[in-house]
Structure 1
Amino acid sequence: MERQIIIDDTTLRDGEQTAGVVFSRAEKVAIARMLDAIGVQELECGIPAMGEDERASVRALVGLGLNARLLTWNRALIPDIQASIDCGITAVDISLSVSDIMIANKIRKSREWVKEQLRTALGFAKERDLYVSVGAEDASRADLGFLTELMEITRSLGGDRFRFCDTLGILDPFTMYEKVRALREAVPELDIEVHTHNDLGMATANAIAGVKAGARFVNTTVNGLGERAGNAALEEVVMGLKLACGIEPGIDTHRFHEISRFVGKASHRPVPPWKAVVGEKVFSHESGLHADGVLKNPGNYEGFDPAEVGLKRHIVVGKHSGTSGLVERYRELGIALSKREAVCLMEQVRVIAQRMKRPLSDGDLRRLYRSGVCGLRAA
């Protein structure tokens, strides 16, 4: 039977940790409801140890009664975990620094100290019947033998999964696959989660590589929001799993564009028009060959139907257009062109687009038609 892949979206935690991003409580509630409505199975929803305002937001999310499981992020400290419990949370991520670099230079402790910290925090959480993900910060730079030890401790004390974090976004998909596969084989009884960052532009690829290697849980954020260059984008990971891997994560993708725009506005990080999967212009076609092909059959140049993610197709008329695209754009404006008229107008379109260094707008096209060039009658 195929493994069920669980999306654990962390827009409300790691996404909000993006420098300069703050969500209001109402925005957090709206984002949580939208993600829950499309079937996202888990939401990492905040850091209760930050203070009372954060705890109030987490309690508000708990009170929504969502289908998605809510997790909070915590340092592997008893006061942090208790703060989550006090919010009504029943699932937590407890985070430990696990690379020798961070152990020596950040927390200035030892591997033995980290293992004891895990035993203490995880023991406290499991005694209180919490679902626990053990988050291995900087796992991508950590010794695999040490990670295996931590996973064995997690398993022996009843931890539910182990989060492999590429905290600095330094891995490539091949190395990610090898590391996750090695850990999966070392401790097969314990589920693995992958948490990837986009510093080298490989967060989505690394997340999918982790899933292919055996990880069952994958962290995402809407639009790839996150610290520095961001995290693996929800929309990219889901569509990548479906189309590139043949893995169905159980997410209704039709509202992706709507959710993307909302989070873009709430975060004051507008979505670039060419953003993969959800950008307004990713289904725009100008090249004559491509426009002709997509008009004959969209499958010629579109890997999936734009409506699947809430978008529409755009035929752009510009320097590289052909007559098929031009005829289609004029048809959309209610103007029927003959083949001869289209060939003549196309020459003018290329001149205008070259001069203006942009495609022609609807107004430009109407004015060109009404100008009488090519012997056309004013419309």
Structure 2
Amino acid sequence: MLSFDNTVNLLMQSKYRYSLQDVAEPNLYREIYDYDHVPKVAFNLRHVPMQMPDHIWMTDTTFRDGQQSVSPFTPEQILHLFKLMSRLGGPNGMVRQSEFFLYTENDQKALHLCQDAGLKFPEITTWIRANEKDFELVKQAGVAETGVLVSCSDYHIFNKMHLTRKQAMDKYLGIVKAALEYGIRPRCHFEDITRADFYGFVVPFAGALMDLSRESGIPIKIRACDTMGYGVSYPGTALPRSVQGIIYGLRHYAEVPSEQLEWHGHNDFYKVVSNAATAWLHGCSSINCSLLGIGERTGNCPLEAMAIEYQSLRGDDGGMDLTAITEIADYMEREIGLEISPRQPFVGRHFNVTRAGIHADGMLKDEEIYNIFNTAKLLNRPASVAVDSRGGTASIAHWLNNYFRLTGDNTIDKNDPLIVNMRARVDDLYAKGRNTVMGDEELEVMVRRCDQNRYEKLLFHKSK
């Protein structure tokens, strides 16, 4: 049969309905995942169309998956980060939801503090085990949506839960039906989807969930979880590792609407951001992230990365306030004690700091030559140059102009006697064995010692 598809304005063959394949032995994809070697990437050269949804957004798992990898946050810390996250996402809810645990007194206190803040976004959701008793906790918390773990690979179904596929599917559907009876919107976490039998279990199960969704009138969501970071986005890659294949298959064969589809990736193979963008491009509306990418093992998709990626793909800011990213990073490091790599994009202390002398010279002439974008305007993080043994007069001049806020005709050239004098002093320090970068305070002292009168004028200019 043929039907007209309004999304592409073409006649399409009717979609094939896949049935559950209840196999006797687990399919562990040993030709790809043999455990004693790096997992292989298989290709079938099948290409699926890009189909970016009308609306895309991010969701957050900092207080659930993210918090599993660090010392527990206090309820007050969670509230502070929640408010910053709301500011980052802006009034249009680009950070649409944030999920919380419910099991401890601290978890519940944090959730209630955030509820009492009265913010429209992010919507507060929860995460529970596939256990009917846990729905009482959700109901008591006054939350409309909860995540439910529904592991979908044979590694989990056979080797962890010791069930057959049919038993697992029946169990999961029973839990989802219970959620619907409670009036709770279920979000089904398809754990380990990049090692799952896609057409033998994932699609039939997702299709059954969509049947329940249509019957109940409640939008059941599916979170495709790349739990081990195995997903790849190369064109023509084969399932189960193909990100675009997973998203296309869920939409085309299981008929999951884009707005009910979410991608949750991990960074075990350095692919978490590119995989998330690929999910967006191929029809997934929602990307699940965490602040600074914290989470199990190598972490989740960084929320700040996808905020930047959104603007890159859409060409507008969606109402987001990216300066909140800098405040989030500062708070995480200063108040929570999280160690952030100095070179971590957008949040590391040195992500837009250059050390090479030739780069410093370029920055002095035109910041745009070596800075990725206007980080001062967008992130409240001015580009800077490190002063050490390699930067030369250009790095000192750039530091001085930046530190004392000198612009236009007031800027000081690298050949200025003050800069030359400072360069000689810096070189002398490193010749005597110094091996660390110069700090702002000691450089300011050096300016004063080199030329007291100019130093006082510079201070006056900075204070204006």
- TM-score interval w.r.t. the shorter chain? 0.7 to 0.9
CA distance in 2: counterparts of 1:70 and 1:169, whole angstroms: 26
Over 3 Å counting, the alpha-carbon distance change for 1:125 and 1:250 in structure 2 is farther
On the 8 A contact 2:191/2:224 being kept in 1, the answer is yes
Give the stretch that moved more between structures: 269-278 or 99-108. Answer: 269-278
Hey, what does 1:3 align to over in structure 2? 54
The Cα shift of 1:317 comes to 2.3
**Per-residue deviation, 1:344:** 7.6
Does residue 329 of structure 1 match 2:407?
no
Report how far residue 345 of structure 1 moved.
Answer: 6.1
TM-score normalised by structure 2 residue count:
0.72
Match among 94, 108, 117 for residue 162 of structure 2: 108
Whether 1:277 aligns to 2:337 is no
1:276-295 paired onto structure 2 within 5 Å: 276-295=345-364
Pick one of 12, 22, 33 that aligns with 2:72.
Answer: 22
Residue identity matched to 1:62 = Q
Q: 1:168 aligns with which of 228, 236, 246?
A: 228
* Pair 1:378–1:27, CA change in 2 (3 A): closer
Aligned partners of 2:88 and 2:324 also within 8 Å: yes
- C-alpha distance in 2 between matches for 1:180 and 1:260: 32
1:1-379 alignment to 2 at 5 Å? Answer: 3-18=54-69, 20-39=70-89, 40-48=94-102, 50-68=103-121, 69-145=123-199, 146-158=201-213, 159-174=219-234, 175-190=242-257, 191-243=260-312, 246=315, 248=317, 250-265=319-334, 267-307=336-376, 308-331=378-401, 332=403, 339=415, 341=417, 342=419, 346=423, 349-350=426-427, 352-353=429-430, 355-362=433-440, 363=442, 367=446, 370=449
SS of residue matched to 1:54: helix
Look up the SS of the partner of 1:70 in the other structure: strand
Shift of 1:330: 4.0
CA contact (8 A) 1:45 1:58 kept: no
| C-alpha distance in 1 between matches for 2:230 and 2:428 | 46
- Distance in 2 between the 1:183 and 1:353 partners? 60
Comparing 102-111 with 201-210, greater Cα deviation is found at 201-210
Which structure features the higher share of helix residues? 1
Aligned partners of 1:266 and 1:369: how far apart in 2? Answer: 33
Secondary structure of the corresponding residue to residue 176 of structure 2: helix
| Cα distance change on mapping 1:250 and 1:123 into 2, 3 Å | farther
Specify whether residues 226 and 3 from structure 1 end up closer, same or farther in structure 2 by C-alpha distance, changes over 3 A only.
same
Deviates more, 1:133-142 or 1:52-61: 52-61
The C-alpha deviation readout for 1:29-58, integer Å capped at 9, x for no partner, is 22222212332533333222x244433433
Give the secondary-structure state (helix, strand or coil) at the position aligned to 1:173.
coil
8 Å CA contact 2:203, 2:249 repeated in 1: no
User: C-alpha offsets along residues 128-173 of structure 1, whole Å, 9 cap, x if unaligned?
Assistant: 3322221101111111111111211121111432100011222233
Q: Where does the alignment leave 5 or more consecutive residues of structure 1 unmatched? A: none
Q: Give the alignment's Cα RMSD to 1 decimal.
A: 3.0
**Distance in 2 separating the partners of 1:253 and 1:131:** 31
Deviation at 1:235, TM superposition (A): 0.7
Contact in 2 for aligned 1:98/1:138 (Cα 8 Å): yes
**Rg bigger for which structure?**
2
Q: Spell out, residue by residue over 1:186-225, the C-alpha distance to the aligned partner (whole angstroms, 9 max, x if none).
A: 2344332011112223222222222122211111111111
Q: Which residue identity does 1:225 align to in structure 2?
A: I
Q: Quick one: distance in 2 between partners of 1:28 and 1:306?
A: 27
TM-score by length of 1: 0.87
Distance 2:191 2:263 in 1: 11
Q: Name the aligned partner's letter for residue 186 of structure 1.
A: Y
**Which letter maps to 2:231?**
L
Distance across 1 between alignment mates of 2:435 and 2:389: 9
Q: C-alpha deviations, 1:62-114, integer Å up to 9, x for none?
A: 33322121110112221122211111011111111110011111111111122
Q: Is the Cα–Cα contact under 8 Å of residues 180 and 186 in structure 2 kept in the other structure?
A: yes
Kept in 2, the 8 Å contact 1:38–1:255? The answer is yes
Q: Give 1:61 deviation, angstroms.
A: 2.8
Aligned-residue sequence identity (percent) comes to: 23
1:118 counterpart letter in structure 2: Y
* Higher relative contact order (CA closer than 8 Å, sequence separation 6+): 2
How many Å apart are 1:253 and its aligned residue? 1.0
Unpaired runs of at least 5, structure 2? 1-51, 214-218, 235-241, 456-464
- The CA distance in 2 between the partners of 1:293 and 1:2, in whole Å, is 40
Question: Cα gap change, 1:41/1:241 in structure 2, threshold over 3 Å: closer, same or farther?
Answer: closer
